[in-house]
Structure 1
Amino acid sequence: MTDLTDQVAIVTGASRGIGRATALLLAMQGAKVVCVARSADELEEVAHKTRGLAIPADVSDADDAQNVADEALRHFGRLDILVCNAGVGSFNLLEHFSATEWDRMFDVNVKGTFLLCKAVVPHFKAQRSGHIVGIASDVARRTFEHGTAYGASKFAQDAVLASLRKEVRPHGVKVSTIYPGLVDTYFNDSLPGSPDAEKTHLKPSDVAQAVRYVLEAPAHVVVDELMLHPLTQEW
């Protein structure tokens, strides 16, 4: 298994939910974590627990995204892992979506992934190592009512990661994609911990364990896709 000790990992959307669980777990495995999110107060709390670096940023802003990579390199002197987890969602009939809602989902879910990857890939290629893990969704592989905007953004994010995987593999860089089903988080303004969610949803820690699994796979093992099934909590 690959040792995560002292590897430097950027985790976006680290203030809550999947990102927070991932940041905490990677820190427990010895990684040095760069916690990225827009909410500075919650981010500082996570960074304190991980003994890592907090960088408040909007991943959909090109300058912010580049600054995250630059600050991580300045602070730690190296960069090994990028977990693209930041995401937003809204669900409604197509005719009830506003253009603003559509743009925000594509800005965060797709453009945010693109910009962070763009910021770290040159460094990863130069050192001939690095691992990008994208937290997509099972709706990147299926469609459902009220999911036109969110589903489209996740299909697009999946395409970005799949194409990038082919571009960087010859340079010794890995790209893995995780497709969780329903996860019990604050996503879509919901509150975690309801009795129903306990029965039907994954926990953020389940997804974090999947991230750990792909990161710790031996160098010669490539895990391109990992689907998480919420009803059975198996993967």
Structure 2
Amino acid sequence: MPDTAVVTGAARGIGRAIATRLTREGWQVVVADLDADELQAVAEETGALAVPGDTSTDAGVRHLVDTAYAHLGQLDVFFANAGIGTLKGLDADDAEWSRALETNVLAHVRAARHLVPRWLEAGGGRLVVTASAAGLLTMLGDAPYAVTKHGAVAFAEWLSATYRHRGVVVQAICPQGVQTRMLDESGPLRELLTRDATVSADDVAEAAWQALSTDDFFVLPHPEVHDYAVQRATHPDAWLAGMNRLQQKLDHQTGTTHEENA
């Protein structure tokens, strides 16, 4: 099993849990996040190397990858975990859409651009993307998040289809409600996100750890996501009708009108 990794978005939540799980198994890990103070705390707790910075930019990704190779000597797994939401629909402005695209999609593209050539030369590597169940289904109340997480899955699929025969393994972790700060700050969406049982960040990290021994593309900490995805693919109108009923319930709970949504 590989034993060196980078984890982005590692200052808290799923990223922190993944970094902790890996270092507990004896891996050498580099952690990255915008929040330098919390990231340093994670590094001190785990023994990982902290590389604070913005991994949604090409310069940030290049610096992270170069630093990781200099520190580790090799890089077996890159956990592209950093992600953001907006909790907005049509009211999200262009700047918010751009930030979501940069963080949730283009950060993965940039990581692959810097990693894949090295992995091809070395004989292989693994990119693990935290895509969310929103990337397979949707996310009511957050259009930029839903769209960009679909984009994250689509790019991961393309990367796998293009390079798997050359030793590049790509996986997408797609949890639903996870007990993190993002869930705590989800406002009226919290009830929707917790309709099924929530899991802890440690549970997601355990699922990610187990997935490293396989080449399975999808990693589903919530097994029910598989059935939802099948229903969406095979009965799209029925699935959309069900989602719309959930949206109507959400509208009723929040007192939202159609005009406000538009």
TM (norm. structure 2) is 0.78
Instruction: Give 1:147 shift.
Output: 2.7
**CA distance in structure 2 between the partners assigned to 1:52 and 1:121 by the alignment:** 23
Determine if contact 2:123/2:166 at 8 Å carries over to the other structure. yes
Indicate yes or no: 2:214 matched with 1:204: no
> Relative CO higher for 1 or 2, CA cutoff 8 Å, sep ≥ 6?
1
Extract unaligned runs of 5+ from structure 1.
none
**CA distance in structure 2 between the partners assigned to 1:40 and 1:159 by the alignment:** 31
Indicate yes or no: 2:83 matched with 1:90: no
Q: Name which of structure 1's ranges 21-30 and 137-146 shifts more when overlaid on structure 2.
A: 137-146
Instruction: Give 1:215 shift.
Output: 1.1
Matched residue, 1:112: 107
Matched residues, percent identical? 33
Determine if contact 1:183/1:230 at 8 Å carries over to the other structure. no
Determine if contact 1:23/1:33 at 8 Å carries over to the other structure. yes
Indicate yes or no: 2:130 matched with 1:135: yes
Written as runs of structure 1 = structure 2, the 5 A alignment for 1:1-235 is: 2=1, 4=2, 7-94=3-90, 96-187=91-182, 190=185, 200-217=197-214, 222-229=215-222
Structure-2 change in CA distance of 1:144 and 1:21 (3 Å): closer
Extract unaligned runs of 5+ from structure 2.
226-262
**Matched residue of 2:178: which SS?**
coil
**CA distance in structure 1 between the partners assigned to 2:143 and 2:34 by the alignment:** 25
Instruction: Give 1:158 shift.
Output: 0.6
Determine if contact 2:85/2:142 at 8 Å carries over to the other structure. no
**CA distance in structure 2 between the partners assigned to 1:148 and 1:110 by the alignment:** 14
Deviations 1:184-214 (A, max 9, x none): 11116629xxxx86x8421101110111011
Structure-2 change in CA distance of 1:231 and 1:161 (3 Å): closer
Instruction: Give 1:167 shift.
Output: 1.7
Deviations 1:4-29 (A, max 9, x none): 4xx21000000000000000001011
Instruction: Give 1:64 shift.
Output: 1.1
Determine if contact 1:201/1:231 at 8 Å carries over to the other structure. no
Deviations 1:74-113 (A, max 9, x none): 112111110010000012232x111111111111000111
Higher helix share: 2
After TM superposition, which residue ranges in structure 1, 4 or more long, deviate above 4 angstroms? none
**Matched residue of 1:216: which SS?**
coil
**CA distance in structure 1 between the partners assigned to 2:89 and 2:146 by the alignment:** 12
Instruction: Give 1:227 shift.
Output: 2.1
Q: Name which of structure 1's ranges 143-152 and 30-39 shifts more when overlaid on structure 2.
A: 143-152
Counterpart residue type for residue 118 of structure 1: R
Counterpart residue type for residue 163 of structure 1: W
